[in-house]
Structure 1
Amino acid sequence: MGDVGMMPLLTALVAAVAIAATVYAFMYPYISADRLKDKRVANVSESRAKTLSVRSAAELAANRKKQVAESLKDIESRQKAKEKLTLSIRLERAGLDIQPRTYWIASAVSAVLCAVLAKSMLPSSASSLAPMLMIAALLVGGFGLPRFVLAKITARRQNKFLVELANSIDVIVRGIKSGLPLNECLAVIAKESPEPVAGEFREVIEQQRVGVSLPEALHRLTQRMPLAEVKFLAIVVAIQQQSGGNLAEALSNLSSVLRDRFKMAMKVKALSAEAKASAMILGCLPPGVMLMVHTSSPEYIAPLFETRTGNLFILAGLFWMSMGILVMRKMINFKF
């Protein structure tokens, strides 16, 4: 009888244990620390996956930019190798409206004047150096001096163009935002901007009137004005013409970049001014001292001009002075 009375109790106990075990089996993943661990591991894995994806996307973008830059550099080097820089192009870049024949006539006149000046300044005691000095004066006056003057005129013109280019781009940006087409904005620049910006953009407008497309006209502008900033402008306009986009915003960003580059150039020029002045003084000091010694006591310095050993010393001094000037020039000219 006692065993029979215990049966319902045992059955209820077994049922309770079974129900508890079932509930525990279902609830174990939610109440155990393993689920929290798995959750943390999943969160960490997900964040790592996101970080890796972001990093891989950034690396892909950087590699793409690097490839594009290398491609542009390769294209530019090929174009430089293909194009031949003729005298007509150099005269056009300098803004000189003359023919190459006029340039060569002026070079010949310059050579004769330099030879006559060198002959008149040569002392009578140094007659043995006269032929060599005349040949050097003819070469310097006929080839060196005209090319130097042409390069200086070109550099001055390009600097003037570069100073006004950012303002001209701002005119384009404001015109586009007000509803004017790009050609009208270029016409405004051609009329109201100072030279040489007005003349170069006037040439672009005239080329468009005879049927040349705007990207091609700007490409010809880069040939007449081979500056990196002008190439930026031509690339931005060419991309907008092909694929569309907000030209005003792109040109506004380009204007900011050009102003920052100009500020950096002025900062570099200011920081290197002292070094350039020191280099000029060091370069002018030896010939200045020689001239003063020759003026005060010509008999003291006469062996340099009258003897072969002295002539060799003069040639060696000129060679080492040239090397020193080139080294100083390399040290004080910065590329940025």
Structure 2
Amino acid sequence: MDEASLMPLLTAMVAAVAIAAAVYAIMYPYISADRVKDKRVAGVSETRTRKIATQSAAELAAQRKKQVVDSLKDMEARKKAREKITLRLRLERAGLDIEPRTFWIASACSSVLMALIARMSLPVSAAALSPMILMAALLVGGLGLPRLVLAKLAARRQKKFQAELANAIDVVVRGIKSGLPLNECLTVIAKESPQPLAAEFQDVVDQQRVGVPLGEALERVTRRMPLPEMKFFSIVIAIQQQSGGNLAEALSNLSGVLRDRFKMAMKVKALSAEAKASALILGCLPPGVMLMVHMSSPEYLAPLLNTRTGNIFILAGLLWMTIGILVMRKMINFKF
């Protein structure tokens, strides 16, 4: 082949090599190991930065959670240390401003009065049961009846407090949103709320004026009003003071929860009203029938009162009646 015929072939080869070199130069950053390495390094760096940021947020959340748990544990420990319920505390829960000595004197008078009523009500034919009935009357009049009245007064007072607590929390929420300090909101509650809410929050305000911390003052109210709603309120205030946060939002959520609980309680009461009425009728029917038979025909029940076998039957009947009443009470009392 001569030189003239080789020139086009050489020109084409040089052009192909030049084009291949240009393409390789352009594609080199995308196909080289350095490019892959740079991508891996950037991915690892970005992942590490994101992980550090996530760890920082997680650490902050864990630290805040730890503060909340420590606060709850501290409050629970103080509650267990003061768990003993004394007679003075029972009187405070019932709203009675009397000394325990006065209560014991009233209990003794009630015991003697019940024994006299039982002795005067006993027929002559029931002389064999007289000592047991008198002893039972003394115990019921001295220990049972006064404590039952005290428990009823405390339950009625707590029910009134519970019905108004959600409104009091709403007052605090609106006051905080409008710029009032928490102490001023509590003062408004103490002045404007009905009893017994006003008396309890007035006690909180008075204790703050003499230097008692707000958390401790609310804890004392919780001891006098051992309600879940008041415990929630006390815990929210204590946690907000120790770890900070939006108090208005927390109390607003708490108010909604309390209103929902109150609605649920009213619904449960309405649904269980029929069962409670049936239990009351079944519990009162046997002694009522026995009383009417005794009034109409005393000789008919004489063997039950005068013989040992009859006395055993009376005790067995009272035992079964007690078991039945307790079972019905368990069936109609709902936890919510």
**TM bin (shorter chain):** 0.7 to 0.9
Aligned AA for 1:200? E
2:288 aligned with 1:299, yes or no?
no
**Residues 139-158 of structure 1 deviation map (CA, whole Å, 9 limit, x = unaligned):** 00100001110000000000
Partner SS state of residue 302, structure 2: helix
Structure 1 segments (4+ residues) deviating >2 Å? 71-83
Given residue 115 of structure 1, which amino acid in structure 2 is its aligned partner?
A
Paired letter, 1:201: F
The total of aligned residue pairs comes to 308
Q: Percent of pairs identical after alignment?
A: 76
2:215 paired with 1:224: no
User: Which residue identity is paired with 1:281?
Assistant: I
Structure 2 counterpart of 1:171, which letter? V
1:194 to partner: Cα distance: 0.2
Render the CA deviation track for 1:211-268: whole Å, top value 9, x for unaligned. Answer: 1011111111111111111111111111111122211111111100100011111111
Separation (CA, whole Å) in 2 of partners of 1:129 and 1:172: 61
Aligned pair in 2 of structure 1 residues 73, 117: CA closer, same or farther (>3 Å)?
A: farther
Q: Which amino acid aligns with 1:303?
A: P
The equivalent residue for 2:101 is 101
Q: Which runs of 5 or more structure 2 residues have no equivalent in the other structure?
A: 28-53
Q: Say if 1:279 and 1:172 are closer, same or farther in 2 by CA, change over 3 A.
A: same
Q: 1:1-336 to 2 correspondence within 5 Å?
A: 76=76, 79-80=79-80, 83-336=83-336
Kept in 1, the 8 Å contact 2:169–2:252? The answer is yes
Contiguous gaps of at least 5 residues in structure 1: 27-52
The alpha carbon displacement at 1:137 in A equals 0.4
* Cα 1:74–1:190 shift into 2, 3 Å: closer
- The one-letter code matched in structure 2 to 1:138 is L
RCO greater where, 1 or 2, for CA within 8 Å and sep 6 or more?
Answer: 2
Q: Read off the aligned partner of 2:260 and give its amino acid letter.
A: D
State the alpha-carbon separation in 1 of the partners of residues 214 and 79 from structure 2.
20
Shift of 1:79: 3.4
Task: Give, in angstroms, the shift of residue 77 of structure 1.
Answer: 8.2
The normalised TM-score by structure 2 is 0.80
Question: Which amino acid in structure 1 is aligned with residue 219 of structure 2?
Answer: H
Deviations 1:39-91 (A, max 9, x none): xxxxxxxxxxxxxx9xxx9xx99xx89xx89x959974883475211000000
- Change in 2 beyond 3 A, CA 1:78/1:251: closer
Identify if the C-alpha distance between structure 1 residues 147 and 73 changes in structure 2 by more than 3 Å, giving closer, same or farther: farther
Structure 1 distance, partners of 2:193, 2:246, is 24
2:240 and 2:247 in contact (8 A); partners too: yes
CA distance in 1, matches of 2:139, 2:233: 40
Q: How far does residue 163 in structure 1 lie from its aligned partner after superposition? A: 0.3
Distance in 1 of aligned mates of 2:310 and 2:73: 50
Contact 2:72 2:235 in 1 (8 A): no
